[in-house]
Amino acid sequence: MASATQARRNTRTGLALVSPALLFVTVFALFPLGFGVYISLTNWPLVGAYQFVGLSNYESLIHNSEFLASIAFTLKYTGIVTIPIFVVGYALAVFVRSNRPGSTVFRTMIFVPYIVGLVAESYMAVVELQPTSGTANFVLSKLGIVSDSTAWLVHTGLAVTAISVLVVWFASGLTMMLLMAGMQSVPQEIYESARVDGASWWSMERRLTMPLLRRSIALSLIISVVGSFLAFNQFFIMTDGGPGTSTVPVVMSIYQEAFAQMDVGLASAMSVVLVIVVGLITFVQFRFLQGGAD
Amino acid sequence: MRRSAGGASAAYWLGGVMISAVFVVPLLWEAFRSLQPESVVTAAPSGQTFGHLTFANYATLLSGQDDILRNVINSLIVAVAAAVLTALVSMLAGYGFALFRFRGSGLVFGVVLLAFMIPFQAVLTPLFLEMHDLHLLNSLLGLALFYTTFNLPVGVYVMRNSFLQVPAELVDAARVDGASVMKTLVSVFRPLIMPGIATTALYAFLFSWTEFLGALSFLTNDNLFTLPVALSNVETGTYGAVNYGLLLAGAVIAMIPCVIVYVALQRYYVRGLVSGALKG
Give the per-residue SS3 of chain A. CHHHHHHHHHHHHHHHHHHHHHHHHHHHHHHHHHHHHHHCCECCCCCCCCCECCCHHHHHHHCCHHHHHHHHHHHHHHHHHHHHHHHHHHHHHHHHHCCCCCHHHHHHHHHHHHHHCHHHHHHHHHHHCCCCCCHHHHHHHHCCCCCCCCCHHHCHHHHHHHHHHHHHHHHHHHHHHHHHHHHHCCCCHHHHHHHHCCCCHHHHHHHHHHHHCHHHHHHHHHHHHHHHHCCCHHHHHHCCCCCCCCCCCHHHHHHHHHHCCCCHHHHHHHHHHHHHHHHHHHHHHHHHHHCCCC
Q: Which of the residues A9, A12, A17 would you substitute to probe the B interface, choosing the one with the greatest number of B C-beta atoms within 10 Å?
A: A17
Taking the CA of residue A119 and the nearest CA in chain B, the distance in Å comes to 7
From the list A17, A39, A254, the residue facing B92 with the nearest CB is: A17
Closest residue by Cα to residue B149 from A32, A26, A275: A26
d(C-alpha A173, C-alpha A247), whole Å = 25
Are the Cβ atoms of A267 and B22 closer than 8 angstroms? Answer: no
Between helices A118-128 and A156-184, what is the axis angle to 10°? 140
d(C-alpha A151, C-alpha A137), whole Å = 9
Q: How many CB pairs under 8 A join A and B?
A: 272
Residue B167's CB: how many other CB atoms inside 10 A? Answer: 9
B contact residues 31-70, partner A, Cβ 8 Å cutoff? 33, 41-45
Multiple choice CATH, A59-290, 1.10.3720.10, 3.40.50.300, 1.10.4160.10, 3.30.1330.10: 1.10.3720.10
d(C-alpha B131, C-alpha B129), whole Å = 6
pLDDT number for residue B103: 83
From the list A25, A119, A254, the residue facing B152 with the nearest CB is: A25
Tell me where in chain B the CATH 1.10.3720.10 domain(s) lie: 57-279
Taking the CA of residue A157 and the nearest CA in chain B, the distance in Å comes to 22
From the list B89, B244, B277, the residue facing A21 with the nearest CB is: B89
CA distances from B5 to A102, B12, B151, B267 (A): 15, 10, 45, 29
Are the Cβ atoms of A236 and B129 closer than 8 angstroms? Answer: no
B contact residues 240-269, partner A, Cβ 8 Å cutoff? 244, 247-248, 250-252, 254-255, 258-259, 262-263, 266, 269
pLDDT number for residue A98: 84
Q: Which of the residues A3, A38, A124, A150 would you substitute to probe the B interface, choosing the one with the greatest number of B C-beta atoms within 10 Å?
A: A124
Are the Cβ atoms of B250 and A123 closer than 8 angstroms? Answer: yes
Residue pLDDT tens, chain B, 280 long:
444 567 778 899 999 999 999 999 999 999 999 999 988 888 888 777 777 899 989 988 888 666 889 999 999 999 999 999 999 999 999 999 998 888 888 899 988 888 778 899 989 999 999 999 999 999 999 999 999 999 999 999 999 999 998 888 888 887 777 778 888 888 888 888 999 999 999 999 999 999 999 999 999 998 999 999 999 988 887 666 788 999 999 999 999 999 999 999 888 888 777 766 554 3
Are the Cβ atoms of A24 and B152 closer than 8 angstroms? Answer: yes
Are the Cβ atoms of B277 and A182 closer than 8 angstroms? Answer: yes
pLDDT number for residue A291: 57
Are the Cβ atoms of B235 and A237 closer than 8 angstroms? Answer: yes
Collapse the DSSP code of B203 into the 3-class scheme (helix H, G, I; strand E, B; otherwise coil) and give the result: helix
pLDDT number for residue B194: 93
Find the angle CA(B271)-CA(B77)-CA(B69) to the nearest 5 degrees. Answer: 115
Are the Cβ atoms of B232 and A236 closer than 8 angstroms? Answer: yes
pLDDT beneath 70: ranges in chain A: 1-2, 46, 289-294
Q: ipTM of this predicted complex?
A: 0.92
Please state the domain extents for chain A.
59-290
Are the Cβ atoms of A216 and B277 closer than 8 angstroms? Answer: yes
B contact residues 190-229, partner A, Cβ 8 Å cutoff? 206, 209-210, 212-213, 216-217, 228
d(C-alpha B242, C-alpha B245), whole Å = 9
* pLDDT tens digit sequence for A91-125: 999 999 988 888 999 999 999 999 999 999 999 99
From the list A112, A236, A282, the residue facing B259 with the nearest CB is: A112
Q: Which of the residues A26, A28, A33, A115 would you substitute to probe the B interface, choosing the one with the greatest number of B C-beta atoms within 10 Å?
A: A28
pTM for this model (two decimals): 0.93
A42 forms beta bridges with A52
DSSP B19-63: HHHHHHHHHHHHHHHTTS-HHHHTSPP-TTTTT---SHHHHHHHS
Are the Cβ atoms of B20 and A178 closer than 8 angstroms? Answer: no
* pLDDT tens digit sequence for A55-96: 999 999 999 999 999 999 999 999 999 999 999 999 999 999
A223 Cα distance to chain centroid: 5
Taking the CA of residue A39 and the nearest CA in chain B, the distance in Å comes to 8
pLDDT number for residue B116: 78
Residues 6+ apart with CB under 8 A from A168: A81, A84, A85, A88
Are the Cβ atoms of A120 and B112 closer than 8 angstroms? Answer: no
B126/A contact by beta carbon, under 8 A = yes
| Superfamily for the B57-279 domain | MetI-like (1.10.3720.10)
CB A85 within 8 A of CB A168: yes
Q: Which of the residues B17, B89, B123 would you substitute to probe the A interface, choosing the one with the greatest number of A C-beta atoms within 10 Å?
A: B123
